[in-house]
Structure 1
């Protein structure tokens, strides 16, 4: 079936009018947002896997037509602002900004290795506790900006002085703009003799004064445009109008007016990328939204790359958005935390170097590869088209797709297209998205007065791969060359696909007619091979999964771009230095766990935030950091701990195991944790629920029985905690003495390690995660329920479903990869062939489903009741203890209860 045709008309007059607009219609392109702890593992890639790190930056920021040109940093206060905190670089008013501990600043500097003009934009979330007035805000911003420039040679290009996702304070925005543009003081030092005070050079002062001012990063359609237009002082102060997610204009069309009449930039300054991953998306049964409720939507459907592209198109058509910054573009944090699985690039395993580039990158390539994106000269004495930046043409763009956030009302083939044109009219590209099961038809009509009229039109398409092809075989590929007739051409867009039609000379044509990309237009997205995510298993010979003394004496130096030069830095200096350096393989969810000098250990891990410095948060909670591989299953984790002196009530330390995310409240996120107060009171908990409790006298007795060192209450002395998770049994030891043991009748079977504290200063040293004799240490793979076939060839079976199943995208953030597979039909089954000793099944469960377990064709356990769970990555069924080797396990629903599968863990 096909939908009614749509005509796109591009005229010389419309292109010329757009060319006269310097800011409002120039299509800027796309950016990376670094915030919410989503860059927490990025510096680990840089240090441990530099080849993968630099390839990532080259992929996103390199080439003549880069995918990205902006890095936006959300300045934080060490408190959670969704996935986690951003480190505060000024914890006290007088502190010189420790900009090395913020990975976003290094990202912006390093990106300039491949694109010297990469822009840096700043916004604040919650403020440090010393910031209590606008004068303090200005000091925080200014000193941070100048410290970044002095350290890396990157001056901020734009700043929103307001708070993220709050109603605009236009008086403050105007005052901030005045201060920036007239600043004569420079860096605000700590006293008159501070050598950092003032501007370091005339160039520094002039660059600072050129910073553009943004309003207002609201999370809804902006509420400020009418006031800005009505008040000349506000209009003069504001360079960029921005808001998040919504594609709509306000009821009076003021954002369109800001772009077209007042030549202001309008951004989507926090946009959503792809939900789930596109490599497995074609295995869905999402339904076409019209006739077939279980039709496959290919790359399309809820939260897919086509929806993302439609959001860009509708954002321009409705509200003239010409810049989109993705939160996050790079998911360099541990997975399955709050707002998980909504990124363009996944970088979860710095120990392996594994990085996955989603089809969302290909979708952005449809805009970026076939145009010249960016900014025109800000000098009013220069022509508006000095840099030749392509304009988005309103009259040749349209979008009838329904929805706002998400833009998902496309299932009847509603037209959606955006035309970008060179200011001289010599070339153009039109992006068309068809997020439906219908064939879409377009007629493209180009004015004969345009130099582009009559040029051959090359069609580039992104769609799902065919069976037997690698997952990305259909992403951003040239598929046809169309010769227009008198400036007109008919274009057909296949279901669940997007295309770019361009006059640029982008392909080579072989004698047999095969098209191949010219190098400058190749997508060049690296491929994530099947079985390329190695488990963190540091020293198998000695049974050590991971060990960290937090000293890094033997760590190699790290390459960093500073002032346009690649330089080598000491490992800890590159991550923040003695003021507090980011430890390896950690993602904080609240607080700040950093490496500091230690008089007895050389260096130690310290939780830095006390109650005096604990500012406001998005999600309240105590300091926590996650460490290691989510696939670790049975292990012993131990760590040395020391309480520093404390002024009031006794602080606590927490050691956690088997943490797989799945909740925004991370204080109680571990499957199991041991919480010890400095006065000797202790708890063993399961997801925050108390299972065992004791006191100082219990610890003394345990030490005496074991002949171990007694725990000394209060501050000052080092002691060692250990937590063992072996199948369903949890054991706690302190200084080697067994404190308690508990057996769980519904065990959580795998997950990362956590360290935690109260808002007090607590030190850690000698973290060790070790195998346990007789137990499988980890999953060789954690397989998403929608991973049916190998990414390598699209045909080799991974998970085999038989019977009446649905496989759906569009699930919530705490469903792994935002996908779920469901059945209620007795006899429906799931099979997997693997090398190992067993497998575990994860998914939401009320405990009602009963499963027949077949191993290598034989029924070994009939009607096994699933365990009730409280979430998606929670263990509902365990098939363990098989002889190590190759097995096929089939799980068959034995009754008519609802069975939901979210993931499968394969035990070594």
Structure 2
């Protein structure tokens, strides 16, 4: 089922439904139909003498869950383009604040980031990739503000208590590393979404001053409440320590963000208050909520910064939050990426303002005095040399007019208008465009605002919307191998994303020369979320979610007695924060020679379910010697080998495809070398089929037997109709085309839309990536059908069970309405 909190924004859905109704009437009557709504007029005086708080910026978070991990491995050209879209002024999102995770070797949502200090006093200032991200951001925008926050930390810190002297030392050591990288950190926090500790903040502030970080401001709270503000009000020591009060999701977590809130204590502090984490929205459908939140966060709650989580969707598709961010970049091997609507929602503020500008309260509010019409916020440069007003009309149902007068020493002259149309859920992703200029008539400017859009009216110049053509998505081909010999000590391996622990290159032991991959986190870290102990063992994953039949192997070396190494295969869906498990098979070997073939699934609640499929004993490998593990997946047969000898074979139909991985059964060092994934024979799916939904039992069907381009695709009871039969044929890239037998038309995504929920349709075959599909086994004789165009799955809308329920595209969620049976008819 679709999670109701993750559905496309209901207001844009409403606009889409209205548009469809009007289009239908037009087709029936042969004439255009206009909505009969009265326009709302709003008069605004943009006055430079207006009161208002200081604007601190709009930013995004790299981290809090490994969401930037795959960007590092992108080809240099596409990686640079993505970074430009994020940070380059006048080009894309133009972020003004970059908030990064201080890695702690622990899963902090959808992955773990490496700590700079696994053990006390042993500091590696090159560990992880956030240094590189900050350096790249600064290279593109030297004025960007840097903000750092910990989600978790190695277990040595305070013997598990972050709010300790060790915690202060740990943060000071991280700041020392930042200094080595030439990075000046503007803001630092305590511990993400944990009840604040007043004495810790006070001691941290003292340490900042004592160590020369007097320009680094302390952000307090980072909770989902404003308790920090009340604490600051009641304690002068805490008030003096904390420079900014920040709260998470003050516009309501995973919502339309129509209303934002802060406490009276927060608003009366006399210090900045921020939405220090907001967002958690789908990259496309979240654009409307984000546009509201940036404006309404100030209008409703006087928050002077908005920071979106996350910055990137650059993590694997099996992970829970893989669809969120300003840019989707989850295929480093192909270089494919997509710039989302949310990036342009943000650009409407960031490209036309700068931190340090002033809000103009008298030129900010709700259109026509009604939040249903939309909102507007005005900003001015401190010297009054420039100004901008940002409008959002997400909830409006009709066009409306605004008039602007300029006063208080602000410039007039020609005003430039930029707009992004978010009103249409289907079709190609819109971009911010320059729609024209305004000149005054009688000293007054007039502008018509259409529904479902973001507008900026500005005196500034230099804005733009980058235009690149990313490569098409493609399969990660097999065979794939990595000896791990070519990495510098401390580096992560290409395409590997740690979910817990830290997997870094290190000199090999056991008489092997060169470098190996090593699990380096020595003890259970301070965890951020709530999973049970069996959910936090170290593991790292890599590969293609569509890999089905393959052999994965790796040499392993156990360094300590009592330890075990793991090899993972067919790694699929992982639950939120990994708390409820992950679909995968594991081959585990201990130093005593005990081995087991294990299965984990996602049926747990805050704990992982482990099932032993097979087990036994081989000659004890002991420690300090190399041994080879391998798992072969051939349809429903899984064969485990140790040192080339088959030790067990089982039949299990649970999981049909997924990534590969490496792991340990605890926090101790294990080494890996000569990793490889080789292809095993797969079934040839060429032929003609009925495609049957697992959730409803109904068949993929061209609506009303239609044969023309644009005919919607729905589900319907099996009637043995030609409109329910589909010919599958392979492309040269290894994807499949799905062509209607009756229509001769291809299963297609209109305009290669990236909108989750866009209904599939028929289209004239043309070789487009929007007509190519990865059909991969999903277990128990079922399949998933994934678009080459965007990585979304073919899906029964809201898991409907009735005839004519639309067939849409939706991000991967592992649900039954994304699983299909192929019933061959020819």
TM-score by length of 1: 0.68
CA contact (8 A) 1:591 1:623 kept: yes
Match of 2:84 among 17, 38, 58: 58
Q: Is 2:165 the counterpart of 1:135?
A: yes
Secondary structure, aligned partner of 1:352: coil
Q: 1:838 to 1:240 in 2, by over 3 A?
A: closer
Question: Aligned partners of 1:323, 1:652: CA distance in 2, in Å?
Answer: 47
Q: 1:213 to 1:742 in 2, by over 3 A?
A: same
Listed as ranges, the matches of 1:5-44 within 5 Å are 5-12=40-47, 14-15=49-50, 17-18=51-52, 24-44=53-73
Question: Aligned partners of 1:776, 1:609: CA distance in 2, in Å?
Answer: 44
Question: Aligned partners of 1:437, 1:803: CA distance in 2, in Å?
Answer: 34
* Counterpart position of 1:561: none
Question: Aligned partners of 2:49, 2:726: CA distance in 1, in Å?
Answer: 58
1:61-103 CA distance string (max 9 Å, x none) = 22368711332222232111211222111122221x2121221
1:472-520 CA distance string (max 9 Å, x none) = 4x4211223333333434433323222222233x5xxxxxxxxxxxxx2
Deviation at 1:640, TM superposition (A): 0.9
Match of 2:363 among 396, 414, 425: 396
CA contact (8 A) 1:215 1:238 kept: yes
Question: Aligned partners of 1:362, 1:583: CA distance in 2, in Å?
Answer: 33
Listed as ranges, the matches of 1:241-320 within 5 Å are 241-247=245-251, 253-258=264-269, 262=270, 264-272=271-279, 274-275=281-282, 277-278=283-284, 303-320=285-302
1:249-271 CA distance string (max 9 Å, x none) = 7675333333xxx2x22222212
* Counterpart position of 2:327: 345
Deviation at 1:141, TM superposition (A): 1.0
Deviation at 1:140, TM superposition (A): 0.8
CA contact (8 A) 2:106 2:526 kept: yes
Secondary structure, aligned partner of 1:127: coil
Secondary structure, aligned partner of 1:676: strand
Q: Is 2:81 the counterpart of 1:74?
A: no
Match of 1:655 among 547, 563, 567: 567
* Counterpart position of 1:228: 232
Deviation at 1:824, TM superposition (A): 6.7
Question: Aligned partners of 2:58, 2:240: CA distance in 1, in Å?
Answer: 24
CA contact (8 A) 2:795 2:818 kept: no
Match of 1:109 among 131, 135, 150: 135
Deviation at 1:136, TM superposition (A): 1.2
Q: 1:750 to 1:856 in 2, by over 3 A?
A: farther
Listed as ranges, the matches of 1:346-365 within 5 Å are 346-365=328-347
CA contact (8 A) 1:418 1:431 kept: yes
Match of 1:550 among 470, 484, 497: 484
- Once the two structures are overlaid, the 10-residue window that deviates more, 684-693 or 623-632, is 684-693
Q: 1:69 to 1:427 in 2, by over 3 A?
A: closer
CA contact (8 A) 1:268 1:324 kept: yes
* Counterpart position of 2:115: 88
Q: 1:88 to 1:772 in 2, by over 3 A?
A: same
Q: 1:144 to 1:491 in 2, by over 3 A?
A: same
Secondary structure, aligned partner of 2:104: coil
Q: 1:80 to 1:400 in 2, by over 3 A?
A: farther
1:689-741 CA distance string (max 9 Å, x none) = 53632211xx4xxxxxxxxxxx4343232221111112222222222222222
CA contact (8 A) 1:679 1:714 kept: yes
Question: Aligned partners of 1:319, 1:327: CA distance in 2, in Å?
Answer: 19
1:150-196 CA distance string (max 9 Å, x none) = 2x111222111x22112332333233223322x1xx5xxxxxxxxxx
* Counterpart position of 2:205: 177
* Counterpart position of 1:616: 527
* Counterpart position of 2:664: 757
CA contact (8 A) 1:536 1:545 kept: no
Match of 1:210 among 203, 215, 220: 215
Deviation at 1:3, TM superposition (A): 5.8
1:273-300 CA distance string (max 9 Å, x none) = 640x53xxxxxxxxxxxxxxxxxxxxxx
Deviation at 1:310, TM superposition (A): 0.4
Deviation at 1:471, TM superposition (A): 1.7
* Counterpart position of 2:771: none
Q: 1:634 to 1:836 in 2, by over 3 A?
A: farther
Question: Aligned partners of 1:776, 1:547: CA distance in 2, in Å?
Answer: 25
CA contact (8 A) 1:456 1:503 kept: yes
Deviation at 1:858, TM superposition (A): 12
Question: Aligned partners of 1:401, 1:804: CA distance in 2, in Å?
Answer: 48
Question: Aligned partners of 2:647, 2:743: CA distance in 1, in Å?
Answer: 42
Question: Aligned partners of 1:74, 1:524: CA distance in 2, in Å?
Answer: 28
Q: Is 2:317 the counterpart of 1:335?
A: yes
CA contact (8 A) 2:319 2:573 kept: yes
Question: Aligned partners of 1:400, 1:165: CA distance in 2, in Å?
Answer: 35
* Counterpart position of 1:636: 551
Question: Aligned partners of 1:800, 1:399: CA distance in 2, in Å?
Answer: 45
Question: Aligned partners of 1:685, 1:838: CA distance in 2, in Å?
Answer: 34
Deviation at 1:53, TM superposition (A): 2.0
Q: Is 2:388 the counterpart of 1:432?
A: no
* Counterpart position of 2:185: 156
* Counterpart position of 2:434: 478
Question: Aligned partners of 1:159, 1:255: CA distance in 2, in Å?
Answer: 19
CA contact (8 A) 2:78 2:470 kept: no
Question: Aligned partners of 2:414, 2:701: CA distance in 1, in Å?
Answer: 46
Q: 1:695 to 1:251 in 2, by over 3 A?
A: closer
Q: Is 2:551 the counterpart of 1:522?
A: no
Deviation at 1:315, TM superposition (A): 0.8
Q: 1:687 to 1:643 in 2, by over 3 A?
A: same
Deviation at 1:670, TM superposition (A): 3.7
Question: Aligned partners of 1:724, 1:487: CA distance in 2, in Å?
Answer: 76
Match of 1:494 among 440, 450, 455: 450
Deviation at 1:437, TM superposition (A): 6.5
Secondary structure, aligned partner of 2:179: helix
Question: Aligned partners of 2:444, 2:195: CA distance in 1, in Å?
Answer: 47
Deviation at 1:875, TM superposition (A): 4.9
CA contact (8 A) 1:59 1:525 kept: no
Question: Aligned partners of 2:239, 2:157: CA distance in 1, in Å?
Answer: 27
1:630-682 CA distance string (max 9 Å, x none) = 22222111111122222xxx332222212123324379524433233333333
Question: Aligned partners of 1:536, 1:391: CA distance in 2, in Å?
Answer: 49
Match of 1:374 among 349, 355, 358: 355
Listed as ranges, the matches of 1:524-673 within 5 Å are 524-528=466-470, 532-537=472-477, 544-552=478-486, 572=488, 577=489, 580-599=490-509, 600-601=511-512, 602-610=514-522, 612-618=523-529, 619=531, 620-646=535-561, 650-664=562-576, 665=578, 669-673=582-586
* Counterpart position of 2:818: 902
Q: 1:830 to 1:331 in 2, by over 3 A?
A: farther
Deviation at 1:876, TM superposition (A): 7.0
Secondary structure, aligned partner of 1:722: strand
Match of 1:678 among 585, 591, 595: 591
TM-score by length of 2: 0.75
Question: Aligned partners of 2:237, 2:399: CA distance in 1, in Å?
Answer: 47
The runs of 5 or more residues in structure 1 that have no matched partner are 19-23, 187-204, 279-302, 376-389, 403-408, 507-519, 538-543, 553-570, 700-710, 779-784, 786-798, 806-820, 842-852, 860-871, 881-889
Q: 1:774 to 1:88 in 2, by over 3 A?
A: closer
Question: Aligned partners of 2:86, 2:585: CA distance in 1, in Å?
Answer: 39
CA-atom RMSD in angstroms: 3.9
The runs of 5 or more residues in structure 2 that have no matched partner are 1-34, 252-258, 602-609, 687-692, 694-699, 707-712, 745-775, 785-793, 808-815
Q: 1:426 to 1:694 in 2, by over 3 A?
A: closer
Secondary structure, aligned partner of 1:393: strand
Question: Aligned partners of 1:596, 1:315: CA distance in 2, in Å?
Answer: 47
